[in-house]
Structure 1
């Protein structure tokens, strides 16, 4: 077991068997979402975050170590040589070397967030359709992506305040994803997390500082929000390159709406009348167009209007009128014909679905004209 460092509460952080293990060296109280010793506890000695990512990269088949998550965590805890009755943990496919650690302090209060994160595969939005049915004994695939958070607070919190900290931390996680325009993989919404996220929060019962509020209006809430949001974004960047530069792309922001390489390429093929063209060969040019900030600005405005229309805030009449105005400005900039506002659509299909097709058509047209100009030059 390799010693890495001590936390703000002087607890010991170790690395062993692709696992970050924290040994709690004083009187601590813990709230954990783990099946093993989860909930509120005051007798936990070890907390951990285990990765199966290296096994997945090696091509190994990763399965649960028992018939359910309780049995899985019990077996894993014993493999780590930790006491099963005094330990609680988390699992992920993210690599431990991609963990982000952020500490902030204010008015004698210190908070640390230690986060591993990845949501490119199973990012989801609260309320999305379920991906498995636990009543049919289908196995839960928890290896695709997860945001796991250690929240370490150097202050004495009662059971309610420590539990309340989870709300603030979860809001911070969702805010981190919102600022990156992270997509749900299961709906047309923006992601609020992954389907398998976990958190373990710890407070220091030895501290002379007693706090009774972990909401956003208090200093503790400010520190929880700031550390978790920053650590989540740093971890996503380390794990999968999800950062503002990558996300400043029409495609990365709007896969949820079907604005994809394939769809853009299909429209390009129709316009170019070249069935033998290769998507792979054109990927760099499509990326260049999708990442053009002027293109992104116009289309981001349109897709946000679509969001508001789906949420019931914007009527279809005003969506159509305003979105087509934005889209035609973009088409004019790239020498594409204007789309008339009087064009008839299928009334059985929401207009925004047709609008998405027009966006893909516009991007395909920009690609087509770009290639023509390159050939001429």
Structure 2
């Protein structure tokens, strides 16, 4: 029993699990081959009320809380449904629009985001920039009733399907301040690059975005000029906890699958589970997974109360992503040669998990954040 989640959260879990098992799992391998998911799955998720679950009811949202978000994240992780970029759209971009958007912007974008009609992205990372947001080179300048955007972004989740991008840039390259502006698909000068080939998350469409003298209406400015870094900082705690939530659920799911596999697989006349090495490895994994779950749920409780700080979020992201990578490697090893075969979920999850130590801020950056409070 998890005290952080209520009965309505668990009822929502049943709905999400049915959708994932019915609409995503049977097609996931095909989407991984294609490197992109069809837009139709977004519309189906929208009709089921699975997109932007924390968006206000006034705009067509469910008015849920981060507990509902966590349930959706966990169920996608349980199935290793990494192809669908619902989380970036629903838990990151949607939050920016709700928190910093004007009433007009919310009315214009949120209903289409909630229905799945418009897929959104956050465009921060640039070629050569990595985790150093202060070194951003994309420029945003005011020109009458427009802003003009120039620059390039890379590693953008949902980039191929993007209908709207929240773009971070600088109004003064010598400044450390950032500005956020929303650029819609079809705006002259806004172009999508080729689909990027990745070793993991192969079904998730990831691309470069290019902005060449893109004239954006002034009313598309998100929040205020030069406040973007503050906005990003406020949202990063939740964004990093998302990665920890996903890690905890992934570990739990793959642990159960590995236990089942080792109980059925025989080697040298007995099941793999009968060997003490196997049992001890799984027992240690169970203990670590249980501790991670307790910490992640504590962080989830704090974020639901608006109290989660950046340092604790960094701890959850660091410990969760590193543990996920280490334990999934052990689970793959216990599957033997079959663990290296793509049809086994553990092999795909192992590859997909590697990026968790990189995106959302690398493990090294997490250590720097934690070290500031030592």
TM over 0.5: same fold? no
Q: Name the one with the larger helix percent.
A: 2
Q: What TM-score, normalized to structure 2?
A: 0.25
Taking structure 1 as the reference length, what is the TM-score of the superposition? Answer: 0.25
Q: Give the strand-richer structure, 1 or 2.
A: 1
Which has the higher relative contact order, 1 or 2, with Cα contacts under 8 A spaced 6 or more apart?
Answer: 2
